[in-house]
Structure 1
Amino acid sequence: MERPVNEYIDLLQTLMAPLLGTPEALEISPVEREGALALNVRVHPDDTGRVIGKGGAGIDSLRRLVEFAARRAGDVVSIDLQDG
């Protein structure tokens, strides 16, 4: 990892906060595997639809933005939205 993991967590929190009705329920757990970083995300069940968005557009946009930032730093980062 070229950038500290906390930078990716902070970026994702900043991007997601305006989408959430219950931002205090946001949990992001980093998991390193095979040279890549996975950010496992849990939100309040009422916020899941807002994060996913119509046709998955919301979560896809979040993934693209974080993956772009990671690629520029030479890192590989993915976002996994967990049931919760």
Structure 2
Amino acid sequence: MKELIEHITKALVDYPDDVNVKEIEDEKGMIVKLSVHADDMGKVIGKQGRVAKAIRSVVHAAALNENKRVRLDIVE
């Protein structure tokens, strides 16, 4: 899952070296924390959150194939 999110996000941003993805397992599933350079935050979120929603949709679909529950948090 981490590699998928990194691949998608690095294609969107101007500073791909600053993309950081952390996976945290808990009893409800997996939490993925995505952080990017401050200048790229708008590109990852998109107008009215459309890009973030699209990334979450892809992650959700990939998680269904693995029978996991994944939540994506975009943090500063």
Shared fold (TM-score, shorter chain, > 0.5):
yes
Q: Tell me the alpha carbon deviations over residues 8-64 of structure 1, each in whole angstroms, 9 at most, x when there is no partner.
A: 001111111111100000010111111401110110000000000000000000001
Gaps of 5+ in 2: none
Matching of residue 51 in structure 1 with residue 44 in structure 2: yes
CA distance in 1 between counterparts of 2:46 and 2:5 reads: 16
CA distance in 1 between counterparts of 2:65 and 2:39 reads: 33
Could you tell me the TM-score, scaled by structure 2's length?
0.95
| C-alpha RMSD of matched pairs (Å) | 0.8
1:26 is matched with which residue: 19, 27, 38? 19
CA distance in 2 between counterparts of 1:10 and 1:60 reads: 18
Aligned residue pair count: 76
Find the residue that maps to 1:67 and give its secondary structure: helix
Gaps of 5+ in 1: 1-7
Structure 1 residue ranges, 4+ long, deviating more than 2 angstroms after superposition: none
Find the residue that maps to 1:75 and give its secondary structure: coil
Identical amino acids, percent of aligned pairs: 28
Could you tell me the TM-score, scaled by structure 1's length?
0.86
